[in-house]
Amino acid sequence: MTPDEQDLVRRRQRSRAIVMAVLLFAFVLLVFGISIAKIQAGMPH
C-alpha cells in the first residue's frame, strides 16, 4: 500500500468513526426520549 493509499484509508476510517459516534449518541438520546414518552403514557415497555 502506497503512502497515499494509506492516507486515504486513515481518512475514511476516521470519518466513519466520527459518523458512528454521532449516530450512537443520537441513538442514546432517542432511547432516552422513547423511555420518557412511554413512562408518561404509562405504556408497558
Partner 1 sequence: MSTATPLLPPADWRDFLALTKPRVMTLVVFTGLCGMLAAPVGIHPVLGFTAILCIALGAGAAGALNQWYEADIDAIMRRTQKRPLPAGRMDRQSALHFGVGLASFSVILMFVAVNWTAAAILAVSILFYVLIYTVWLKRRTPQNIVIGGAAGAFPPLIGWAAATNQVALLPFLMFMLVFLWTPPHFWALALFVKTDYANAGVPMLPVVAGERVTRTQIGLYTIPMAVAAVLPWPLGLTGAVYGWTASITTAVFALFAAQVALRQTGAEDRMTPEKRLFSYSILYLFVIFGALVADRWLLAGGSA
Q: Which residues sit at the interface with partner 1, rule CB under 8 A? A: 5, 8-9, 12-13, 15-16, 19, 30, 33-34, 36-38, 40-41, 45
> What is the smallest separation between the CB atom of 5 and partner 1, expressed in angstroms?
7
Alpha carbons 16 and 13: distance in angstroms, whole number: 5
Q: Contact at 8 Å (CB) between 35 and 29?
A: no
Task: State the nearest-atom distance from the C-beta of 34 to partner 1, in Å.
Answer: 5
Name the residue nearer to partner 1 (CB basis): 28 or 33.
33
Q: How far apart are CA 25 and CA 38, in angstroms?
A: 20
